[in-house]
């Protein structure tokens, strides 16, 4: 079950999450990273005095109240990518919005768009601001930029318990979605790691996946209908269980990242809240055995809601931290595991099930049966309980490590099962060797967290030493990002499974969809936004903006 929503807490600036919340690295993790990377130099902490946006450019009346407050503009300048934090902490943001507007309804949105089209003012939609692909970043330009914050377009509007449908404002954040549905006995079941901070509209326009997507589906599976306000007019897609009336327009809007217009509300498919959630842990002898077991369970239809497989490096980090309080018994545990065929290449798998106790037991028993055939050794539910308790806190680790001079970031892809072993190796090698010319090492971890009958996602976490100079730090990250993206494209993976394209992946977008595919998206954007004021630096922008 998801944790209770956090209310009445201020968002942190230049860091993930809420003010005062921390998730420091354990001494074991820090020692492991420093032994691999070498000694580090602390990175500068946030200096609010250096965050001085220039005066806003003159704007016409936008039809709703506009905030020009410097703090508001700073908070809406960047998303939550690693380089966004680096720029904010060092006061090196290249640009800020000239105003922030918070419309209260569709008419307000339409009024803002009308003025912006008339005066060629660029608009960046803002839900939770958690993009890690440059999707909400303000880029320097000769024209004014307005951030359109959807915070007032939030809340449950109606629910149809017979059909299992609920309509909510697009600005509704994850905890508020679950809180509103819980009052009627329902859940959406969509829990991305950014759940506490991200919005329903943001999930839709980036094609987000929650950590339990195996059971509930990704957001495009959960959206039944939606409303979009675009510069060219309004698009209302009715909530229907299925339709053969032409192309599915929901899927045109899903993944559009604000380039087509503003999603103002959505009707989503909800389910009765489950009685319990259980996550069981298993160790597999190697990555290939884990992939084979995951594929076997998914293709056999084992009704898990969650399946997460960590590679050997990620597993070693998890085990080292987990065994920290039990050093005396660690040798005995390792000896016992070796006798069961589990050595240094062991990979940790978490299998989760939701529902009433009896079906949950049957599901996990079916999973154990498959895992045993692939050499799995069960560890019980303790590691799963620990993961559930901390799953929304893990991103805070990035800020604590950055304080110490260690940068960490993530990237993800997806591919058919047959390509996963080679793609894992290719991306790992690209990241590990990207900084070799500078004699810098990189620690690379990987896990599978979203699986399908024909393939799965790969989610990479990497660590590297970060220099205290902001431009040098961003350049080092950009070198890693380019190397990994090139490996993904060459290896037949997607640019993104659930983070989106944003501006940082945009130069490679046509490589994936082809020139005619890119032209089709461009035509859709031209139909709904003929002047090109809607978030123009995402999806279709060919410029490399990784170092901006």
Query: Domain 156-272, what fold?
Result: 3.30.465
Domain with CATH 3.30.300.330 in the chain: 396-499
Largest CA distance in the chain: 74
Query: Domain 42-152, what fold?
Result: 3.30.43
Burial (CB < 10 A; 0-12, 13-18, 19+), residue 265, is: buried
pLDDT tens digits, one per residue of 471-493: 999 999 999 999 999 999 999 99
Which among 301, 442, 302 has a CA at the least distance from the CA of 368? Answer: 302
User: Looking at residue 328, what is its pLDDT?
Assistant: 45
Angle at 207 between CA 204 and CA 208, to 5 degrees: 90
pTM for the model stands at: 0.95
Which helix (H) or strand (E) covers residue 147, if one does? strand 145-149
Whether 5 shows a pLDDT value over 60: the answer reads no
Q: In the beta sheet, which residues pair with residue 457? A: 414
User: Looking at residue 320, what is its pLDDT?
Assistant: 60
User: Looking at residue 334, what is its pLDDT?
Assistant: 65
- How many other C-beta atoms can be found within 10 angstroms of the C-beta atom of residue 252? 17
Phi, psi (rounded to 5 degrees) for 500: 100, 175
How many Å separate Cα 215 from the centre of its chain? 18
Q: In the beta sheet, which residues pair with residue 67? A: 100
pLDDT tens digits, one per residue of 368-425: 999 999 999 999 999 999 999 999 999 999 999 999 999 999 999 999 999 999 999 9
Side-chain-side CA neighbours of 437 within 13 Å: the count stands at 5
User: Looking at residue 26, what is its pLDDT?
Assistant: 87
pLDDT tens digits, one per residue of 506-543: 999 999 999 999 999 999 999 999 999 999 999 999 99
Six-digit token string for 237: 């897609």
Mean pLDDT of all residues in 333-361? 86
Six-digit token string for 476: 């080092």
Domain with CATH 3.30.43.10 in the chain: 42-152
d(CA 405, CA 467): 7
Q: Are 468 and 476 in contact (CB under 8 A)?
A: no
> Per-residue confidence at 3, pLDDT binned at 50, 70, 90?
very low
pLDDT over 70 percentage in the chain:
95
Q: In the beta sheet, which residues pair with residue 154? A: none
d(CA 2, CA 378): 24
pLDDT tens digits, one per residue of 149-187: 999 999 999 999 999 999 999 999 999 999 999 999 999
First-to-last C-alpha distance (Å) of the chain: 39
Q: In the beta sheet, which residues pair with residue 168? A: 156, 266
User: Looking at residue 73, what is its pLDDT?
Assistant: 98
Domain with CATH 3.30.70.3450 in the chain: 276-390
Whether 326 shows a pLDDT value over 80: the answer reads no
Phi, psi (rounded to 5 degrees) for 361: -60, -40
Six-digit token string for 547: 């170092």
d(CA 111, CA 37): 53
Q: Are 302 and 367 in contact (CB under 8 A)?
A: yes
Side-chain-side CA neighbours of 183 within 13 Å: the count stands at 10
As a whole number, the mean pLDDT across the chain is 94
C-alpha pair distances (Å), 396 with each of 200, 202, 289: 22, 21, 32
pLDDT tens digits, one per residue of 199-245: 999 999 999 999 999 999 999 999 999 999 999 999 999 999 999 99
Whether 324 shows a pLDDT value over 50: the answer reads no
Whether 339 shows a pLDDT value over 90: the answer reads no
User: Looking at residue 321, what is its pLDDT?
Assistant: 60
> In the chain, helix, strand, coil percent, each to 5?
40, 20, 40
Question: What is 276-390's CATH number, 3.30.70.3450, 3.10.20.90, 3.40.50.2000, 3.30.70.580?
Answer: 3.30.70.3450
Which among 461, 271, 277 has a CA at the least distance from the CA of 384? Answer: 277
Mean pLDDT of all residues in 286-311? 97
The residues, any chain, with a CB within 8 Å of residue 267's CB and separated by 6 or more, are 165, 166, 167, 223, 224, 225, 226, 239
How many Å separate Cα 457 from the centre of its chain? 13
What burial letters (b/e) apply to 340-364, b meaning 16+ CB within 10 Å?
eebeebbbbbbbbbbbeeeebeebb
Q: What is the DSSP string of 236-305?
A: EE---S---SSS-HHHHHTT-TTSS-EEEEEEEE-EEPPSEEEEEEEEESSHHHHHHHHHHHHHHT---S
Q: Which residue has the tokens 């990189």?
A: 442
Six-digit token string for 17: 């999450």
Looking at the domain that runs over 396-499, which CATH code has it been given?
A: 3.30.300.330
Six-digit token string for 213: 């997507």
pLDDT tens digits, one per residue of 39-53: 999 999 998 888 999
pLDDT tens digits, one per residue of 49-68: 889 999 999 999 999 999 99
Which among 178, 170, 166 has a CA at the least distance from the CA of 149? Answer: 170
Four-point Cα dihedral 22, 503, 219, 112, nearest 10? 100
Domain with CATH 3.30.465.10 in the chain: 156-272
Q: What is the DSSP string of 339-386?
A: HTT--TT-EEEEEEEEESHHHHHHHHHHHHHHHHHTT-EEEESHHHHH
d(CA 529, CA 181): 34
- How many other C-beta atoms can be found within 10 angstroms of the C-beta atom of residue 69? 12
Whether 302 shows a pLDDT value over 70: the answer reads yes
Phi, psi (rounded to 5 degrees) for 96: -135, 155
């Amino acid at each position: 079950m998801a944790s209770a929503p956090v209310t009445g807490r201020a968002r942190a600036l230049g860091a993930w999450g809420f003010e005062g919340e921390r998730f420091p690295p354990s001494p074991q993790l820090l020692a492991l990273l420093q032994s691999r990377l070498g000694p580090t130099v602390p990175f500068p902490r946030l200096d609010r005095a250096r965050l001085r946006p220039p005066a806003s450019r003159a704007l016409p009346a936008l039809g709703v109240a506009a905030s020009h407050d410097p703090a508001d503009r700073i908070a809406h300048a960047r998303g939550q990518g690693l380089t966004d934090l680096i720029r904010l902490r060092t006061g090196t943001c290249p640009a800020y919005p000239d105003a922030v507007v918070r419309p209260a309804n569709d008419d307000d949105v339409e009024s803002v768009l009308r003025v912006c089209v008339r005066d060629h003012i660029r608009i960046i939609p803002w839900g939770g601001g958690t993009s890690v692909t440059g999707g909400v970043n303000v880029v320097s330009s000769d024209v004014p930029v307005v951030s359109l914050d959807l915070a007032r377009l939030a809340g449950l509007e109606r629910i149809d318990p017979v059909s299992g449908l609920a309509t909510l404002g697009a600005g509704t954040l994850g905890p508020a979605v679950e809180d509103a549905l819980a009052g009627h006995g329902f859940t959406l079941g969509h829990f991305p790691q950014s759940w506490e901070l991200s919005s329903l509209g943001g999930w839709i326009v980036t094609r987000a996946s929650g950590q339990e997507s195996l059971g509930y589906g990704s957001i495009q599976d959960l959206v039944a209908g939606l409303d979009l306000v675009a510069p060219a007019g309004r698009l209302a897609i009715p909530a229907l269980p299925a339709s053969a009336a032409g192309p599915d327009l929901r899927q045109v809007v899903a993944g559009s990242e604000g380039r087509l217009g503003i999603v103002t509300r959505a009707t989503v498919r909800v389910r009765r809240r489950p009685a319990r959630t259980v996550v069981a842990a298993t160790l597999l002898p190697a990555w290939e055995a884990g992939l084979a077991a995951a594929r076997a369970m998914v293709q056999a239809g084992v009704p898990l809601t969650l399946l997460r497989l960590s590679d050997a490096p990620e597993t070693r980090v998890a085990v080292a931290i987990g065994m920290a309080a039990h050093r005396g018994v660690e040798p005995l545990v390792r000896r016992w595991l070796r006798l069961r065929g589990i050595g240094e290449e062991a990979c940790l798998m978490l299998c989760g099930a939701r529902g009433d106790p009896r079906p949950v037991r049957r599901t996990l028993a079916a999973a154990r049966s498959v895992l045993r055939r692939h050499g799995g050794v069960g560890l019980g539910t303790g590691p799963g309980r620990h993961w559930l308790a901390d799953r929304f806190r893990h991103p805070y680790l990035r800020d604590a490590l950055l304080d110490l001079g260690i940068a960490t970031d993530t990237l993800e892809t997806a591919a058919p099962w047959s390509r996963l072993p080679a793609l894992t190796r290719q991306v790992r090698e690209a990241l590990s060797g990207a900084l070799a010319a500078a004699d810098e090492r990189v620690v690379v971890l990987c896990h599978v967290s979203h699986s399908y009958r024909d393939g799965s996602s790969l989610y990479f976490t990497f660590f590297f030493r970060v220099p205290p100079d902001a431009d040098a730090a961003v350049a080092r990250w950009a070198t890693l990002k380019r190397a990994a993206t090139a490996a993904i494209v060459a290896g037949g993976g997607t640019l993104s499974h659930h983070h989106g394209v944003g501006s940082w992946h945009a130069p490679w977008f046509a490589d994936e969809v082809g020139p005619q595919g890119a032209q089709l998206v461009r035509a859709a954007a031209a139909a709904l936004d003929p002047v090109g004021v809607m978030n123009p630096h995402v999806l279709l922008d060919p410029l490399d903006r990784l170092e901006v």
